[in-house]
Structure 1
Amino acid sequence: MLPLALRKRHHWKVVRLLVLNDVLAILLATTVAVAAVNPAEPVPPLGWVLVTLFFTLVLFAIQRLYERDRRNISVSTLDEVRDILTSLGLVGFATFSLALGFDAGGILPPHPLSVVFFWLAGIVLIPCGRAALRHRVIPFSTDSQRTLVVGAGRVGQAIVRKIRKNPQYNVEVIGFLDDDPAVLDPDVADVPVLGAEKDLVETIVGQNISRVVLAFSRSTHEDVLEVVRNAGLRDVHISIVPRYFDIIAANVGIADVEGISVLELPVAGLSRLARATKRGFDLVITVPSLILLSPLLLAIAAAIKLETRGPALFRQARTGRGDEQFEILKFRTMVVGAEQMRDDLLGENESRGPLFKIRDDPRVTRVGLMLRRTSLDELPQLLNVLRGQMSLVGPRPFVTYEDDKIDGWARRRLDITPGMTGLWQVLGRNDIDYDEMVKLDYLYVTNWSLWWDTKLLLRTVPVVFKRRGY
């Protein structure tokens, strides 16, 4: 077992990196704030800088922004943005109050607008620096979390696959424990089954395990926790996959009933106020986007017309909210008559369920291939969003003949307006099969929030550039 002192040293190394990032970002933000107001004197007052640094770091510590990398199996920088916004807002208020209360001009911002520019610069620089650290520095400069998965069934194997797709988690799966392990799928077959569940403590000690994931093991969670506690294993973190993981999002509510934690699952669908809020959010982003992107849209349309005959736009019947049909708009990426050729290619379908997907589709044109790889073919759907037929974020709208094959609880995905992007896009696009896609859609419908839409839009950008799931 790694000595406790060594584990703490690893944790503090991560903390030091995060603090260093925040300090540099705050220094740069204060410089930008002063330079934006008075370019002739871009050097911020030392007193203001020191007070801003002190208050910001203290508030970040109170918000536990330096604890999450040790406590959680995965940390999303986007999930920290709200806490960063709150802290920076309080810092601006505190510097004004302190300066006015003590009449200390040396710590007063040089201009009221300096606080505004500091806030704007900080909400960009701090999260971007933290994201870069977690993706590019921490995984290569610190020890990974040596992780043991208890339960080698479907859920345990799915957890391993998802961990491996995200190296920024800095998690290394050492093996499984299971009393009666199932046959492992080929993509996780290299992960060994290290023993039965009764071997938990011995395996933790022998394999230097720092985190245990309970993924539907046969032992109760209470039994496993009791074993770890009784063995005196300090600083071994426990992550539990809840039984209803298919319908639980990160923003699910937790209530306390006389010491018993109860998960509060919201009902599917949106209230009138929520729908109006979501619609307003769509319009605020869509209208300026269409104006700014109009030259690019015209250039793409011209490229399509120059390569092949036929319309630049492709129209197809899709099923939207409440089973209403609409025509989705895309840039045409295939030869004219591609829909009529579909029946001849059914034998090459690579998707399970009612969806039709071929990775190397022979009907795709050269311009179309480029558009698909960059997702530029989806841009005309901004017009669908403008018309109210689609939303920026939501479940994927299926083709009508695919939608006709969907029944049961999966149809609850139609309780909300379909979107240009969503969980399926962010988590893998074409790498995700039909069963998981409808689960993700249901998860989105039952856990919607405006902040979740914002995060999914932001996370879509790097996914597109990485061509993940193409």
Structure 2
Amino acid sequence: MVLAATAPVGQRSRQWQRSVQRRIALTDAFVVAMTMVIAHGLRFGWEPFIPLMGPAAPAYIWATIGISVLWILELGWTRSRDIRIIGSGPDEYQRVLAAGLRTFAIVAVVGFFGGWALSRGYLLFALPVGTLVLFGYRRAWRAWLHTQRKSGRLRQPVIIAGPRRTVAQMVRRLNGDYDHAYSIVGVCLSGARGTATGSNPTVGPLAEDLPDVPVLGSVDDAAVAAQRAGAEYIVLAGNDDVSLAEARRLEWAVEDTGIGLIVVPTVVDVAAPRVLVSQVAGLPLMHVEPPHFSGPSRALKYAADKVGAAGIVLLLALPMLAIAIAVKVTSKGPVLYKQQRVGLDHEPFQMLKFRSMYMDADARRAEALAQDDGNGVLGKRRDDPRITPVGKIIRRYSLDELPQLFNVLKGDMSLVGPRPPLPSETELWDADVFRRQLVRPGITGLWQVSGRSDLSWEESVRLDLHYTHNWTLGLDAVILLRTVWAVVAGKGAY
């Protein structure tokens, strides 16, 4: 197939991409420079020409400048500003961390072979502080990007190609998530009649609930349709109707057009650490490691939960005492509310909360939830009349959950994990949802930092199952950090 010459694809999109990358590069340079200057000042005062110890050693000011330049270059060499990873997923943060580690590894090697004795305090301050500040700035850029993308800006136009049912599922999932950069301008379906090369390139809408997503032709028309629509990528979904040779020809058809090809595997919600891609007989094979629900890593998580919960209890002892007093003096009833929940391996346990409702709350449940602002399974109401005045405050900021730290110390719960369900909720589950109980439920989790009660039931389940199968200590750390922001914002809590 010979494609007609057209104007460069996605020219406007590439302009904003370069602009965003330049701004982030300037932010990186500012953070690194300020961190190194502050590290130098705190360790040596503001005398710039204090010499390093060692033969022919330069002054510390030149070491500060050299390390700063190397660190900034490493942030580029690790591709931490790659537009494909900026704004979503952990890869961006991992590359920022790798840049810092590589920088100081190089400094250590050069110092060793040069015989220069660099101050350990100087380096140990700069590395963690600089990396954490870079994380903070990248998080601020993410918030800005997400705001822009919710408004329909700073997106890359794409066409999705594949079977109708699979394509519709992908469109619904992508349309419900604003953390990515892709804007769907059309789809090409297996077996679709009509062609994007004809006088009427639009065949019709994808589905009744997706009237704004046009079908631009068949998968064979994808390259032409992408050029006509100004798409930057063709996303090829799992498709039995496309042979290996046809998929290869599609790759060849777009190689000189500036249009990229993204292939989506049929296995979803699998995190990158569980995936290994190898090549056999010219075929890229994706190996998926099974999730592990026991073993050393789980023992480490169990120990980290106990240590973390004990530390938080000691840190928040006085605020927890103040909340307990407020609950006791403002309404009748006990300070703590005990509720039966379903835990690991479907074992029931008594979950603790600060009481946030009046004593007759359970008797008034049916009446209060006649108006359901939740998602069908998780019955919720924004203006629940059973909630006390103090309860409204502590529920908004999730302070009522703090006694669950004692559930963690007891071993019933984890700091991070799926939401612990009520026994009545499990009666509405299907077989897939029960896999949530293969791990201990958590005080916080992906569902909480992603919207809590504002999420649909399907999205809540997807996030919990994703965590269950892809848990790592690093993911736990990220969720705990995001929980702080979610609690402060109070979004989705009622």
TM-score category by the smaller chain?
0.7 to 0.9
2:200 corresponds to: none
SS of corresponding position for 1:147: strand
- 1:220 aligns to 2:242 (yes or no): yes
Q: Which residue of 1 aligns with 2:207?
A: 183
The more displaced of 234-243 and 2-11 is 2-11
CA distance in 1, matches of 2:386, 2:161: 46
Instruction: Give the match's secondary structure for 1:97.
Output: helix
Which of the two has greater helix per residue? Answer: 1
CA contact (8 A) 1:316 1:328 kept: yes
Distance in 1, Cα, partners of 2:363 & 2:164: 42
Q: Tell me what 2:479 maps to.
A: 456
In structure 1, C-alpha distance between the alignment counterparts of 2:443 and 2:264, rounded to whole Å: 30
Listed as ranges, the gaps of 5+ residues in structure 1 are: none
The aligned runs of 1:69-80 (5 Å cut-off) are 69=83, 71-72=84-85, 75-76=88-89, 78-80=90-92
Using the TM superposition, name which of 39-48 and 20-29 deviates more: 39-48
* 1:160-171 equivalences in 2 (<5 Å): 160=171, 163=174, 167=178, 169-171=180-182
Deviations 1:372-423 (A, max 9, x none): 2222222221111111110011121111222244352432222211111222
Between stretches 169-178 and 413-422, larger displacement belongs to 169-178
After TM superposition, list the pairs within 5 Å mapping 1:149-298 onto structure 2. Answer: 149-150=160-161, 156=167, 159-160=170-171, 163=174, 167=178, 169-178=180-189, 179=192, 183-185=207-209, 189-215=211-237, 220=242, 223=246, 226-245=249-268, 247-256=269-278, 258=280, 259-298=282-321
**CA deviations over 1:191-224 (Å, ceiling 9, x no partner):** 4445554542333222221133345567538545
Alignment identity in percent? 30
Letter in 1 for 2:321: L
Mapped contact 2:374–2:454 kept (Cα < 8 A):
no
Instruction: Report the secondary structure of 2:412's partner residue.
Output: coil
Deviations 1:43-84 (CA, angstroms, capped at 9, x unpaired): 9943113321333234334433233x1x458633x4333433
Q: Is the contact between residue 146 and residue 178 of structure 2 (CA under 8 Å) also seen in structure 1?
A: no
1:153, 1:181 within 8 Å by CA — same for their partners in 2? no
Distance 1:139 1:368, change over 3 A: closer
| Gap change, CA 1:349 and 1:250, over 3 Å in 2 | farther
Instruction: Please give the alpha-carbon distance, in whole angstroms, between the structure 2 residues aligned to 1:221 and 1:135.
Output: 41
SS at match of 1:452: helix
**128, 133, 142: which is aligned to 1:134?**
142
Pairwise CA distance, 1:253? 1.7
Which protein shows a greater Rg?
2
Say if 1:35 and 1:43, in contact at 8 Å, map to a contact too.
Answer: no
Task: Give the deviation of 1:327 after TM superposition.
Answer: 0.8
How many pairs were matched up?
460
The whole-number CA distance in structure 1 between the counterparts of 2:235 and 2:291 is: 29
Alignment partner of 1:169: what SS? coil
SS at match of 2:133: helix
TM-score between the two structures when normalised by the length of structure 1 = 0.84
Q: Secondary structure at the match of 1:330?
A: strand
Contact 1:197 1:219 in 2 (8 A): no
Alignment of 1:18-417 (within 5 A): 18-39=24-45, 41=47, 45-67=60-82, 69=83, 71-72=84-85, 75-76=88-89, 78-102=90-114, 109=118, 111-136=119-144, 143-150=154-161, 156=167, 159-160=170-171, 163=174, 167=178, 169-178=180-189, 179=192, 183-185=207-209, 189-215=211-237, 220=242, 223=246, 226-245=249-268, 247-256=269-278, 258=280, 259-345=282-368, 347-349=370-372, 354-417=377-440
For 1:72 and 1:348, the matched residues in 2 are separated by 41
Gaps of 5+ in 2: 1-5, 51-59, 193-203
